[in-house]
Amino acid sequence: MDGILPIYKEAGMTSHDVVFKLRRILNMKKIGHAGTLDPNVDGVLPIALGKATKTIEFLQEAGKTYTGSVTLGFATTTEDLDGEVIETKALECPFSVDEIQTAMASLTGEIVQIPPMYSAVKVNGRRLYDYARAGEIVERPHRQATIYEFNLTSEPVFDVKKQTQSFTFVAKVSKGTYIRTLAVDLGRQLKVPSVMSQLTRVNAGGYEIKQAHSLNDIANRMKLDSELGEWLMPLSTAVEQFIHVELSDEQWEQVKHGIGQPASLLEPIQDKIVLTYHGEVKSVFHWRKDKNQYRAYRTFSIE
């Protein structure tokens, strides 16, 4: 089986758990995931099978879309509801829709984020959550991120008793964006502590949540049939963002023997292109300025 299997990851399990269990269900080892989801986050997790594992980096480069909720009035160690409360500020009155939307708009475009201590980012060879659990303080790296869309999707709800305010949102973001941190940054714009109170990834690598299937779905299907059928997306869907070039017989003979291709293969010159032969994706080529040629970047098949 070679292709992309969009999985619906339920809250409470890690992305590694999904891969581990799928290896047993599908009885195959060559499986990888594209884009880690925190254990408490549910949603789409693209899984690459067989030759498609070579496309993981392309899937990760694609943007992601999330829906979720933010609560204003307190902050936690983990920036979500799993952590210990470290700051509170009772809201004397609710923020208006305009105030919240203005704060959201200020966080769209190119931004700089500092990843949360409870994250898998490595500093000096150790993951930040290891430092956090050990009570150690370490300087965290700054990360560039692009927020393409960050919009309010519900009327804010003010809890008079708790003096907090919650609302839902949709966010379309680039690779490397920390959504939990985006919630905290939003609170900072409003000058109050805040947390991510719920989060679901609805699109990743170009795959929608409606295309995703749970591990139970997969296991039940494999009991009845040894094939995933239409649930397994073609490898080509992982590289749809690049221009596709259909090769002639002569060009294919050259490409499968490792021979680079001139600029005339596709002009204007593109950083990466997909080469196909008889409609089948064969490889991703990239422009090598030093060679003045398109050369192989990732090869999926030479047959």
Look at strands 280-288 and 293-299 and give their pairing. Answer: antiparallel
SS (H, E, C) 162-230: CCEEEEEEEEEECCCCCHHHHHHHHHHHHCCCEEEEEEEEEEECCEEHHHCECHHHHHHHHHHCCCCHH
Q: How many residues does the chain have?
A: 303
Check whether residue 111 and residue 194 sit in a common domain.
yes
For 182, residues 6+ apart whose C-beta sits below 8 A from its C-beta are: 107, 113, 147, 150, 171, 173, 196
d(CA 174, CA 186): 17
Check whether residue 164 and residue 247 sit in a common domain.
no
Domain's final residue, options 179, 201, 223: 201
Check whether residue 112 and residue 180 sit in a common domain.
yes
Check whether residue 253 and residue 173 sit in a common domain.
no
**Residue 147 bridge partners (DSSP):** 109, 173
Mean pLDDT for 70-91 is 93
Check whether residue 274 and residue 219 sit in a common domain.
no
| Confidence class for position 241, pLDDT limits 50, 70, 90 | very high
Check whether residue 159 and residue 120 sit in a common domain.
yes
Peptide bond into 234 cis (omega under 30): no
Check whether residue 171 and residue 70 sit in a common domain.
yes
Q: Note the pLDDT tens digit of each residue in 242-276.
A: 999 999 999 999 999 999 999 999 999 999 999 99
* Average pLDDT taken over every residue of the chain: 93
Check whether residue 265 and residue 156 sit in a common domain.
no
Domain's final residue, options 201, 229, 255: 201
Instruction: Give the pLDDT score at 257.
Output: 93
Mean pLDDT for 155-173 is 97
Q: Strand 243-246's sheet: what is its strand order?
A: 243-246, 272-277, 280-288, 293-299
Check whether residue 166 and residue 211 sit in a common domain.
no
**Nearest residue to 129 (alpha-carbon basis) of 113, 115, 112:** 115
Q: What is the CATH number for 163? A: 3.30.2350.10
Domain's final residue, options 201, 220, 251: 201
Q: Work out how many domains the chain is built from and give that number.
A: 3
DSSP reduced 3-state for 255 = helix
pTM of the model: 0.89
Check whether residue 143 and residue 268 sit in a common domain.
no
Q: Output DSSP code: residue 35.
A: S
Q: Note the pLDDT tens digit of each residue in 202-215.
A: 999 999 999 999 99
Q: Note the pLDDT tens digit of each residue in 42-61.
A: 999 999 999 999 999 999 88
Enclosing domain of residue 19: 3-62+205-237
**Residues with catalytic roles:** 38
Per the CB < 8 A criterion, the answer to whether 40 and 80 are in contact is: yes
Check whether residue 74 and residue 185 sit in a common domain.
yes
Mean pLDDT for 125-145 is 83
Token pair of 22 as six digits: 């799928």
Q: What is the CATH number for 266? A: 2.30.130.10
Check whether residue 52 and residue 69 sit in a common domain.
no
